[in-house]
Chain A
């Protein structure tokens, strides 16, 4: 079964600095999708960024970008110019085909003003 591991239960960063959240996954498949979701305190979970495994180019959404290392099965999220509103739980997720999403354990990100 596929597994997703987020080895950093908590991270903190100074406002305006850059932070990288780690995610590794285990799969024997070559074609799949990866996602980062953000869950702010007491607010709705939203999709931050997504990556198709067959695309070599790393996905970017404004201040959010990923470092996708397929051979290493690594999918880290980089947040540049961190803002107070970035404080949240971040979940990495994997999906192959029409199968269900598999989530990691989450990383709690704190932004220090």
Chain B
């Protein structure tokens, strides 16, 4: 079944740790996105990719980095987690069709102590 997956769903980690949030999609989409969202608040685009080996920073400055080595995989890495990184991270993907509508993963809720 075509879907978009994120792991882990919940992560509690100490300050200074390196973390990688995984995002994979089986929808065959070219475009992928990472959003940061505090609970009940608006979404902020932090990274996006329009294809393999293509990554761009979004509207909200983030200390995280991303890579796109495979079409279906778009991991996000924080080299040194801080409490200010505590948030929910949503991954999304979209096709290149006319609507270009985005499909979202279930999210990763990150807490940095």
What is A's interface to B at a CB cutoff of 8 Å?
A: 33, 35, 37, 43-47, 50, 89, 91, 95, 98, 100-101, 103-106, 108
Interface contact A50-B101, CB-CB below 8 Å:
yes
Interface contact A103-B42, CB-CB below 8 Å:
yes
Q: Could you tell me the distance between the alpha carbons of A43 and B33 in the complex, rounded to whole angstroms?
A: 18
Interface contact B104-A45, CB-CB below 8 Å:
yes
What is B's interface to A at a CB cutoff of 8 Å?
A: 33, 40-43, 45, 48, 58-59, 90, 96, 99-107
Interface contact A91-B43, CB-CB below 8 Å:
yes
Chain B residue nearest to A47 in the complex (CB): B101
Interface contact A44-B105, CB-CB below 8 Å:
yes
Interface residue from A35, A43, A89, A108 paired with B101 (Cβ < 8 Å): A35
Which chain B positions have C-beta within 8 A of A103? Answer: 42-43
Interface contact B40-A106, CB-CB below 8 Å:
yes
Interface contact A91-B106, CB-CB below 8 Å:
no
Per DSSP, are chain A's interface residues mostly helix, strand or loop, or mixed? Answer: strand
Which chain B positions have C-beta within 8 A of A95? Answer: 100
Interface residue from A46, A50, A108 paired with B104 (Cβ < 8 Å): A46
Interface contact B48-A104, CB-CB below 8 Å:
no
Which chain B positions have C-beta within 8 A of A105? Answer: 41-42
Which chain A positions have C-beta within 8 A of B106? Answer: 43-44
Interface contact A44-B42, CB-CB below 8 Å:
no
Residue contacts A-B, CB under 8 angstroms, 25 given: A33-B99, A35-B101, A37-B104, A43-B106, A44-B106, A45-B90, A46-B104, A47-B101, A47-B102, A50-B99, A50-B101, A89-B40, A91-B42, A95-B100, A98-B96, A98-B100, A100-B33, A100-B48, A100-B58, A103-B42, A103-B43, A105-B42, A106-B40, A106-B42, A108-B40
